[in-house]
A and B are shown apart, each in its own frame.
Chain A
Amino acid sequence: MSSASANLNPTQAQSYQGLVMSLAFTSGFIIMSVELLGGRILAPYFGSSIYVWGSIISIFMVALSVGYLVGGRLSLHNPNLIKYGRFFILAAVALLPIVFFSNFMMESVFTRIEDPRYGSLIASTLLFFIPTAILGIIAPYSVRLMVENAGHSGQVAGGLYFISTLGSALGTLLTSFYLVLWFEMNSIVITMIAVLFTAGMLAVWTGRKSNQ
Chain B
Amino acid sequence: MSKLMIMAIGLMSLYGVCGNLQADKVIHEEKSLYRNIEIKEAQGRRCLVFKVKRRTSRQSCINLDRPKEVVFPYTKMTFAALLLRDKPESVLVIGLGGGTLPKTLNQLYPDATIDAVEIDSAVYRVAQQFFAFEESEQLKVSIADARVFIKRALIRKDSYDLIILDAFTGEYIPEHLMTQEFLQEVKSLLTETGVVVANTFSTSKLYDYESATYKSVFGNFFNFKLPETGNRVIIAGPQPLPSKKVLMSRARRLANRLAPYYINIEDYPRYMSTTSDWDQSVKPMTDQYAPANLLKR
A48 touches B287 (CB 8 A): no
Give the A-B contact count at a CB cut-off of 8 A. 57
B181, B286, B290: most-surrounded residue (chain A CB, <10 A): B290
Inter-chain contact B289/A44, CB cutoff 8 Å: no
CA distance A114 to B148 in the complex (A): 10
- B288 contacts which of A50, A111, A185 (Cβ < 8 Å)? A185
- Once the chains are docked, how many angstroms separate the CA of A116 from the CA of B295? 29
Q: Are A116 and B145 in contact (CB under 8 A)?
A: yes
Asked whether any CB of chain A lies closer than 8 Å to the CB of B73, the reply is no
Segment at the B interface, from A133-141, A176-184, A200-208: A176-184
Q: 0/1 per residue, B28-47, Cβ < 8 Å to A?
A: 00000110000000000000
Report how far A183 CA is from B283 CA in the complex, Å: 12
B147 / chain A contacts, CB cutoff of 8 Å:
43-45, 47
B287 and A44 form a contact (CB under 8 A): yes
Contact string against B for A residues 33-51, beta-carbon threshold 8 Å, 1 for contact and 0 otherwise: 0000000100111111110
With a cutoff of 8 Å between Cβ atoms, the chain B residues found around residue A43 in the complex are 147, 175-176, 287
Known: A116-B145, A185-B288. A48 touches B175 (CB 8 A): yes
In the complex, which of the residues A48, A177, A183, A186 contacts B145, with contact meaning CB atoms closer than 8 Å?
Answer: A48
- Minimum CB–CB distance for B148 against chain A, Å: 5
Interface centre among A48, A116, A181, A185 (most CB of B within 10 A): A48
Q: Is B294 in contact with chain A by the CB < 8 A criterion? A: yes
Query: In the complex, which residues of chain B have a beta carbon less than 8 angstroms from the beta carbon of A40?
Result: 175-176, 287, 290
Q: Which residues of A, 93-129, contact B by the 8 Å Cβ criterion?
A: 110-111, 114, 116
Contacts of A183 in B (CB 8 A): 289
Across-interface contacts of B291 in A (CB, < 8 A)? 180-181
Given contacts A181-B291, A184-B289, A185-B288, contact A47 B33 (CB under 8 A): no
Contact with B along A46-70 (1 / 0, CB 8 A): 1111100000000000000000000
* Chain A: minimal CB distance from B147 (Å): 6
Task: Give B144-169 interface residues, CB cut-off 8 Å to A.
Answer: 144-148, 151-152, 155
**Closest Cβ–Cβ distance, residue B165 to chain A (whole Å):** 15
Binary contact readout A156-196 vs B (1 if CB under 8 angstroms, 0 otherwise): 00000000000000000000010011011110000000000
Main secondary structure of the interface of A (DSSP, over half): helix
Once the chains bind, are B289 and A46 in contact (CB under 8 Å)? no
- Alpha-carbon distance A26/B146, docked complex (angstroms): 37
The size bracket of the interface on B is 20 to 34
Check A49–B119 contact: CB distance below 8 A: yes
**Contact between chains at B176 and A47 (CB < 8 Å):** yes
Pick from B151, B286, B290: contact of A45, CB under 8 Å: B151
Assembly CA distance A43 to B119 (angstroms)? 13
Q: B174 at the A/B interface (Cβ < 8 Å)?
A: yes
B148: contacting residue among A46, A50, A111, A177, CB under 8 A: A46
B34–A47 contact, CB under 8 A? Answer: no
What per-residue 1/0 map shows which CB atoms of B269-297 lie under 8 Å from chain A? Answer: 00000000000000000111111001100
* Residues of chain B from 71 to 95 with CB closer than 8 A to chain A in the complex: none
A47 contact from B148, B286, B290, Cβ within 8 A? B148
Chain A residues within 8 Å of B288, by CB: 184-186
Contacts of A47 in B (CB 8 A): 119, 144-148, 176
The answer on a CB contact under 8 Å between B182 and A111 is no
Contacts of A116 in B (CB 8 A): 144-145, 148
The interface residues of chain A lying within 8 Å CB-to-CB of B155 are 111
Q: Are A50 and B33 neighbours in the complex by a CB distance under 8 Å?
A: yes
29 A-B interface contacts by CB (under 8 A): A40-B175, A40-B287, A40-B290, A43-B175, A43-B287, A44-B147, A44-B179, A44-B182, A45-B147, A45-B151, A47-B144, A47-B146, A47-B147, A47-B176, A48-B145, A48-B176, A110-B151, A111-B155, A116-B144, A180-B289, A180-B291, A180-B294, A181-B291, A181-B294, A183-B289, A184-B286, A184-B288, A184-B289, A185-B287
A interface residues with partner B (beta carbon < 8 Å) = 40, 43-50, 110-111, 114, 116, 177, 180-181, 183-186
Interface residues of B (CB under 8 A from A): 33-34, 119, 144-148, 151-152, 155, 174-176, 179, 181-182, 286-291, 294-295
Closest 5 pairs (CB-CB, A-B): A47-B145, A43-B176, A184-B288, A181-B291, A184-B289
